[in-house]
């Protein structure tokens, strides 16, 4: 159904002016064009507040204002072609960038910035639900902002005054597309998340599909089902939804958009149902097109046989956006887009996100360097940072094991300025460190092994939430042979020369980055890249602190970041310890983010 996409070398200057003043210019690459269909989609997911773009990675340096301009031009092109274009966002818009996390209250600027884009279907991610005030802001700000397009098929909100449970937003939406008149039934889900705040209720997907409203929705006989969800494409929840729809509609096309896994991926459910996931951190703008839908009001005859689904993963930089619109630095920006860019610049300045805490002496990678190793951010934590920041003034010489899940770290550290913004990129969470005192050392060590390997109390599947999102529900095309994955996370721009010292590029003129393989092939990325390696990391790391020089201690304080508490206690219990939540105490004041910033100020004082 899908042939190889031809490559066109972009006839563009290799250097262009980026949207945010600090952003580096992208590097030109051979480009694959977008395949337009009768129904087309632009998709964002897991943006986590990165509306300003990537200011240390040139290939993702376009900002939300550029996306607004891009969408405006793409809508114009769709109208000229007589086809339809819909915009989709699948959640996790918060936590992970100073633009969101650096304000008080959080999101003071990002809600308005996000709201400048016109979106046709939008849903909630798990990060909108961890904290009660985040849930409240989502309900009070984002839901009304996207009232006609916000979907909450399995999510309720608890009203603070009455205590009543009400739908977070409409359960589903039925609408007709602008140009071709397709009838669309749209649904919006969240995976079976159970760490949500008390003012929200997530209904398991397998229960939702039995609800009367859902059965009614899938019996409406649309031209196409649009299913969006903050769900990894390889997770069971999408399979449940797909099976439920197919039970009533055996041949209706289904377009599925996922997230949560932080990867580029596409999955074929059957010949008329395909799904895409579009990365993380506003690195990627996803594209899906469908041809051959049985028409609504259009007079054009559908193609014979199954509809044709095509996808593209767009690197979020100006060179690529120029290429796909046929425009340039002068003709691309719209007045609306420029105004959004100005909003971002003003917000960053007001939040002082460029304030420098120190200078990183080298690059430290989450997954692009082998762990343990001198280039791994997790080795840096174990050997240098955790021993310095995990201190209790009342127990300074007590042996302790500091444990942190790798999922608490969200991004790489690049050589050069380490700013206020960087602290939120690395770890935006408000949790700090708690501890259980005087745990038998052998019990503590067994518990750490269980957290990484699973065991009687903690199945390996239950521990996926501890590691980085990319490793929780990986595509079957990702190979872990030789401890590396064949699909790399992107590296580009000013970091490329540094990285090639460690990895030989297959084509010397290509920038290292995504080389995605999925159910549809290996030509999904809009820009051709040279592949990079991706190494496995454990669920948790640990640092032994104040241990005796000879031998092991009899007892240790087990110190852990707060997110780990529901996992630590059963791990200790099944390792021979008698502990529960009553044994947990606060170990050190301040969040990990604050403690990290203080460590940077004290230890990375060199010049950039």
Q: What is the pLDDT of residue 125?
A: 99
Q: Does residue 368 contact residue 491 with C-beta atoms inside 8 Å?
A: yes
Alpha carbon 152 to chain centroid, angstroms: 19
CATH assignment, 7-16+35-351 = 3.60.21.10
Cα-Cα-Cα-Cα torsion 339, 337, 284, 417, nearest 10 degrees, comes to -30
- In the 3-class helix/strand/coil scheme, how is 492-554 assigned residue by residue? CHHHHHHHCCCCCCCCCCCCECCCCCECCECCCECECCECCCEECCCCEEEEEECCCCCCCCC
pTM: 0.92
Please compute the mean of the pLDDT values over residues 283-311 and round it to a whole number: 79
Between CA 177 and CA 344 the distance in angstroms is 32
Q: What is the pLDDT of residue 460?
A: 65
Cis peptide before 452 (omega within 30 of 0): no
Nearest to 316 by CA among 525, 33, 30, 76: 525
- In the 3-class helix/strand/coil scheme, how is 418-433 assigned residue by residue? EEHHHHHHHCCCCCCE
Between CA 184 and CA 175 the distance in angstroms is 5
Whether residue 459 is predicted with pLDDT greater than 80 in this model: the reply is no
Between CA 145 and CA 128 the distance in angstroms is 15
CB-side neighbour CA atoms (13 Å) of 262: 17
Q: What percent of the chain has pLDDT over 90?
A: 85
Q: Does residue 83 contact residue 40 with C-beta atoms inside 8 Å?
A: yes
Q: Does residue 415 contact residue 529 with C-beta atoms inside 8 Å?
A: no
Query: In which band, very low, low, confident or very high, does the pLDDT at 198 lie, cut at 50, 70 and 90?
Result: very high
CB-side neighbour CA atoms (13 Å) of 74: 29
Cis peptide before 77 (omega within 30 of 0): no
User: Which of 22-36, 109-123, 503-517, 535-549 is predicted least confidently?
Assistant: 503-517
Q: Where are the domains of the chain?
A: 7-16+35-351, 356-393+401-468+537-603
Please compute the mean of the pLDDT values over residues 242-264 and round it to a whole number: 97
Please compute the mean of the pLDDT values over residues 483-490 and round it to a whole number: 36
Whether residue 482 is predicted with pLDDT greater than 50 in this model: the reply is no
What backbone torsions phi and psi does residue 4 show, to the nearest 5 degrees? -65, 135
Between CA 448 and CA 441 the distance in angstroms is 11
Query: In which band, very low, low, confident or very high, does the pLDDT at 458 lie, cut at 50, 70 and 90?
Result: confident
Residue of 255 and 491 predicted with greater confidence: 255
User: Which of 333-347, 449-463, 509-523, 579-593 is predicted least confidently?
Assistant: 449-463
Please compute the mean of the pLDDT values over residues 533-537 and round it to a whole number: 92
Query: In which band, very low, low, confident or very high, does the pLDDT at 480 lie, cut at 50, 70 and 90?
Result: very low
Q: How does pLDDT run across 355-378, given as a tens digit for each residue?
A: 999 999 999 999 999 999 999 999
Please compute the mean of the pLDDT values over residues 441-461 and round it to a whole number: 88
Q: What is the pLDDT of residue 257?
A: 99
On the question of a common fold for 7-16+35-351 and 356-393+401-468+537-603, the answer reads no
CATH topology of domain 356-393+401-468+537-603: 5'-nucleotidase;  domain 2 (3.90.780)
Rounded to the nearest integer, the mean pLDDT of the chain is 91
């Amino acid at each position: 159904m899908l042939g190889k996409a031809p490559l066109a070398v972009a006839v563009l200057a290799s250097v262009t002016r980026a949207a945010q003043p600090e952003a580096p210019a992208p590097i030109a690459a051979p480009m694959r064009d977008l395949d337009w269909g009768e129904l087309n989609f632009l998709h964002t997911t897991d943006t986590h507040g990165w509306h300003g773009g990537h200011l240390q990675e040139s290939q993702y340096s376009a900002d939300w204002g550029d996306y607004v301009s891009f969408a405006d031009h793409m809508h114009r092109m769709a109208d000229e072609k007589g086809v339809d274009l819909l915009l989709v966002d699948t959640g996790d818009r918060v936590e992970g960038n100073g633009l969101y996390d650096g304000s008080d209250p959080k999101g003071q600027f990002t809600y308005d910035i996000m709201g400048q884009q016109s979106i046709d279907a939008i849903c909630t991610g798990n990060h909108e639900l961890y904290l009660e005030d985040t849930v409240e802001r989502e309900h009070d700000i984002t839901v009304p902002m996207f009232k006609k397009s916000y979907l909450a098929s399995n999510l309720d909100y608890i009203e603070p005054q009455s205590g009543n449970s009400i739908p977070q937003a409409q359960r589903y939406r039925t609408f007709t597309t602008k140009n071709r008149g397709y009838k669309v039934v749209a649904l919006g889900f969240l995976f079976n998340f159970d760490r949500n705040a008390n003012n929200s209720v997530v209904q398991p997907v397998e229960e939702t599909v039995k609800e009367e409203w859902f059965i009614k929705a899938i019996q409406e006989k649309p031209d196409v089902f649009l299913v969006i969800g903050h769900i990894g494409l390889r997770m069971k929840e999408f399979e449940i939804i797909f099976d439920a729809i197919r039970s009533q509609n055996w041949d209706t096309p289904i377009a599925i958009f996922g997230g949560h896994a932080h990867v580029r991926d596409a999955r074929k459910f059957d010949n008329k149902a395909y799904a895409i996931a579009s990365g993380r951190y506003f690195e990627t703008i996803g594209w899906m097109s469908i041809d051959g839908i049985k028409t609504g009001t259009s007079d054009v005859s559908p193609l014979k046989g199954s509809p044709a689904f095509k996808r593209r993963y767009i690197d979020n930089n100006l060179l690529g956006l120029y290429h796909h619109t046929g425009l340039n630095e002068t003709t691309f920006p719209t007045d609306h887009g420029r105004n959004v860019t100005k909003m971002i610049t003003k917000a960053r300045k007001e939040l002082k996100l460029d304030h420098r805490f120190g200078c990183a002496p080298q690059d430290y990678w989450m997954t692009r360097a082998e762990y343990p190793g001198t280039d791994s951010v997790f080795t840096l934590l174990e050997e240098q940072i955790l021993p310095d920041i995990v201190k209790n003034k009342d127990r300074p010489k007590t042996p302790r094991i500091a444990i942190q899940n790798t999922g608490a770290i969200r991004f790489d550290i690049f050589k050069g300025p380490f700013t206020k913004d960087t602290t939120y990129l690395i770890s935006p969470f408000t949790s700090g460190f708690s501890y259980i005192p005087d745990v038998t050392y052998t019990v503590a060590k067994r518990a750490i092994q269980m957290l990484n390997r699973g065991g009687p109390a903690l199945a390996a599947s239950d521990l996926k939430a501890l590691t980085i999102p990319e490793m929780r529900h990986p595509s079957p095309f990702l190979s872990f042979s030789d401890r590396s994955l064949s699909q790399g996370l992107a590296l580009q721009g000013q970091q490329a020369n540094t990285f090639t010292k460690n990895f030989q590029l297959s084509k010397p003129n290509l920038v290292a980055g995504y080389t995605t393989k999925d159910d549809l092939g290996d030509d999904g990325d809009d820009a051709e890249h040279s592949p990079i390696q991706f190494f496995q990391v454990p669920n948790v790391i640990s640092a032994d602190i104040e241990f005796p020089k000879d031998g092991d201690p009899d007892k240790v304080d087990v110190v852990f970041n707060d997110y780990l508490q529901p996992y630590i206690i059963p791990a200790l219990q099944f390792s021979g310890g008698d502990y529960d939540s009553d044994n947990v105490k606060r170990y050190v004041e301040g969040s990990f983010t604050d403690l990290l910033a203080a460590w940077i100020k004290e230890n990375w004082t060199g010049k950039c």
